[in-house]
Amino acid sequence: MAVSDRDIEPVGALADRAVRRQVWLRRAGAAGRLVVSVFVTLLGLLALTFFIGRMLPIDPVLAVVGDQADQATYEMMYRKLGLDQPLYVQFWTYISSAARLDFGVGTFSGQEVASDIARVFPATLELATVALLVGVFLGIPMGVLAAVFRNSLIDHVTRIIGLIGYSTPIFWLGLMGLLVFYGMLGWVGGPGRVDSFYIDIVEPVTGSILIDAALADEWDIFWNAVSHIVMPGSILGFTALAYIARMTRSFMLEQLNQEYVITARVKGLSNRQVIWRHAFRNVAVPLITVIALSYGFLLEGAVLTETVFAWPGFGQYLTNALLQGDMNAVLGCTLVVGVIFIALNLLSDLLYRLLDPRTK
Amino acid sequence: MTTGTGIKAKRGGGLRAWLMAEVAETVMQARLQRAYLGWLRFVENPLAVIGLTIILALILIAVFAPLIAPTSPSAQNLDIRLLPPSAEHWFGTDELGRDTFSRVVHGSRITLYIVLLVALIAAPVGLVVGTISGYFGGWIDTILMRLTDIFLSFPSLILALAFVAALGPGIENAIIAISLTAWPPIARLARAETLTVRSSDYISAIEIQGASAWRVIFRHVAPMCVSSVVVRITLNMAGIILTAAGLGFLGLGAQPPSPEWGAMLSTGRLYMFEQWWLTTMPGLAILIVSLAFNLFGDGLRDVLDPREQ
């Protein structure tokens, strides 16, 4: 089909404005779709935890009143829990209390699940952040080097680390780490966040014991906390490292085969400039998604790691709740993890749009 | 490959020539030729062959466990508690004087049982959801994919934990919980595959001949998705093994005295600093098996699904 001159004739400012309006509409549409999709996913998340709570073989009334209660007490609690209402009313009650961060009272701690989670979460956040730093600062350079020196020693090492990272049970790695570096060599602190005689000395300000100890000028505690976080942090970080290095490598390989890299080389730029200024810049944006996702997966790894290292965080809280059959706490935790996952996905999506000019 | 050796006996030395013939004479020959070429590509990858070898060894060990293991996995003998590895007890003995080697060997049955059942539940469910979603499109697609997204918005271990908490601990419930978390990625994959074949001419031809939607989906679309689903489930098997072991370790999967590797680690942990073999051996078993599935899955992907490379 031939394009006549009239088809591409510029109509000046009018066309310009129309185009801009179209772009704006498209962006607004995309944002609207994003909001709707996040909303629907959140609703689905709630429906799923609601459903899990309902298929429980335990009678929720008996769990509250105990099996010694008489018929009248039982029926009162039955109504108080809203179990006589139709299912959609119960679901609505569930959503509205979840929106107020009211997950009920945990049966084994005897406190609000939401405040329990708020109390234990900083410990997990601290652990996951250390792990992420390990993963990012070792994983990205490893991935880049593996891609640049393909099939060299560093490439093979990266591949092996990746394979082992994907295949090792993290709790076992933690146990082995404790056995070797704590039990045999005594290089690191043992389980827990600090030695027992340092517990509860520093005033919690940020919730991170490293930062709190440094703020309070308690350097003994700080170094003690460092010796305790090194092992769980690197074990957890190892899985993040495996994932980040593998993704960096494959993104880099893709970029290094592009023509602009050849152009840059032909122009006589140094190897370092070609790799870091040209190729890596294009890799950085998709890597943000990878890093955001691995932060989420670290939460999952934290459940097992914290159990091994007696780390008083979210994972240990969840595990205890599971073993005690405390459904309010379990479902509250599940919901929190789900929301964090959705938020991280949303965040990486938005950052991607913001940073990658091609998506505009 | 087993079929290949069977024919070898019948046809003698001409098998290779028959398999490499330019023109296949029968459908059977064409299929075997394809399988043979795939096999040739597969064996080019030594790591994949190692993976396959380990998996085959695992299957043999599981089948012949009572013959390989010197004692029963539950035979207690309190006179020989917590002995270190020796010629008599290769992996040492545990707190009840049970032979750790025998328990690890019998544990292979449980691991295979879990992996097999999860694959048999998750793969068909994912395939059906994905193909239906991709073929019909429209609101069916939207609903099914939203559902898939919700399941994908949880890390699989956390979701499995929530399900197990509701269903109660135990190996069957662990299998159900893991299956519930394993189908969504497969559904996504099957949907993507369906979208690529849906608009091809051969599908239109079948539709014009009056085939029902179900016939098109199950006889003509689903078979096209099978190879990538197989690759994906093989690669996922490593993750399934790790999740199952994690559940066992937390005391929510297989229960003691079952010789499930994760559950063994959980009890071995109590004796960790003095009796290192109780945690080391079952953990190594998990590592080796899940590594094998990863290696095998990578090799299989190169053969069956060259596009993903």
Q: CB neighbours (10 Å) of residue A192?
A: 15
- A95 assigned to some structural domain: no
Looking at this predicted complex, what is its ipTM? 0.83
CA distance B76 to chain A (A): 25
Residues A167 and A293 grouped into a single domain: yes
Q: What's the pLDDT score for residue B54? A: 95
- Residue A138 region, left (φ>0) first, then alpha (ψ -120 to 50), else beta? alpha
- Which of A87, A104, A138 marks a domain boundary? A87
C-alpha to C-alpha distance for B26 and B51, rounded to whole angstroms: 33
- A164 assigned to some structural domain: yes
Average pLDDT over residues B192-198: 89
**pLDDT confidence of B62, banded at 50, 70, 90?**
very high
| Nearest-by-Cβ selection for A307 from B250, B291, B295 | B250
Residues A293 and A172 grouped into a single domain: yes
Residue B270 reports pLDDT greater than 90: no
Residues A122 and A265 grouped into a single domain: yes
Residue B157 reports pLDDT greater than 70: yes
C-alpha to C-alpha distance for B158 and A298, rounded to whole angstroms: 12
Helix (H/G/I), strand (E/B), else coil: B54: helix
- A2 assigned to some structural domain: no
Residues A35 and A167 grouped into a single domain: no
C-alpha to C-alpha distance for A110 and A204, rounded to whole angstroms: 22
Residues A119 and A80 grouped into a single domain: no
Contact A169 B245 (CB under 8 A): yes
Instruction: Confirm if A132 and A291 have CB atoms less than 8 A apart.
Output: yes
Residues A154 and A70 grouped into a single domain: no
Contact B291 A330 (CB under 8 A): no
- A4 assigned to some structural domain: no
Contact A57 B154 (CB under 8 A): no
Q: CB within 8 A of A282, min separation 6: which ones?
A: A255
Search chain B and give the residue with CA nearest A171: B246
- A78 assigned to some structural domain: yes
| Chain B environment of A340 (Cβ under 8 Å) | none
Instruction: Confirm if B32 and B7 have CB atoms less than 8 A apart.
Output: yes
| Chain B environment of A322 (Cβ under 8 Å) | 161, 164-165, 250, 252
Contact B249 A49 (CB under 8 A): no
| Chain B environment of A40 (Cβ under 8 Å) | 146
Range(s) within chain B of domains with CATH label 1.10.3720.10: 47-308
Contact A303 B161 (CB under 8 A): yes
Residues A66 and A127 grouped into a single domain: no
Average pLDDT across chain B, whole number: 86
- A335 assigned to some structural domain: yes
| Angle between helix B46-63 and helix B277-304 axes, rounded to 10 deg | 120
Average pLDDT over residues A29-37: 82
Search chain A and give the residue with CA nearest B265: A172
- Residue A313 region, left (φ>0) first, then alpha (ψ -120 to 50), else beta? beta
Residue A135 reports pLDDT greater than 50: yes
For residue range A271-291, what is the model confidence (pLDDT) as tens digits?
A: 888 888 888 888 888 888 889
Q: What percentage of chain B has pLDDT greater than the value 90?
A: 34
Contact A334 B250 (CB under 8 A): no
**pLDDT confidence of B110, banded at 50, 70, 90?**
very high
Which range of residues forms the domain containing residue A260? 115-359
Instruction: Confirm if A134 and A233 have CB atoms less than 8 A apart.
Output: yes
Sign of CA dihedral B256, B261, B264, B269: negative
Any idea what the CATH number is for the domain that residue A137 is in? 1.10.3720.10
Residues A121 and A71 grouped into a single domain: no
Give the B-side interface with A, CB within 8 Å: 146-147, 149-151, 153-159, 161-168, 238, 242, 245-246, 249-252, 262, 265, 269, 272-273, 276, 279-280, 283, 286-287, 290-291, 293-295
CA atoms within 13 A on the CB side of A93: 12
Instruction: Confirm if A138 and A269 have CB atoms less than 8 A apart.
Output: no
**Count helices and strands in chain A by DSSP H and E runs:** 14, 0
Q: What letter does residue A4 receive in the DSSP assignment?
A: P
DSSP labels, A193-221? SS-GGGTT-SPPSSS-HHHHHHHTT-HHH
| Count of domains forming chain A | 2
Average pLDDT over residues A5-29: 70
Residues A186 and A38 grouped into a single domain: no
- A104 assigned to some structural domain: no
For residue range A226-265, what is the model confidence (pLDDT) as tens digits?
A: 888 989 999 999 989 999 998 999 999 888 888 888 888 8
For the entire predicted model, the pTM comes to: 0.84
> Could you tell me what percentage of chain B is helix, strand and coil, using 3-state DSSP and rounding each to the nearest 5?
80, 0, 20
Residues A65 and A139 grouped into a single domain: no
Instruction: Name which CATH class applies to B47-308.
Output: mainly alpha
**pLDDT confidence of A199, banded at 50, 70, 90?**
confident
Residues A34 and A148 grouped into a single domain: no
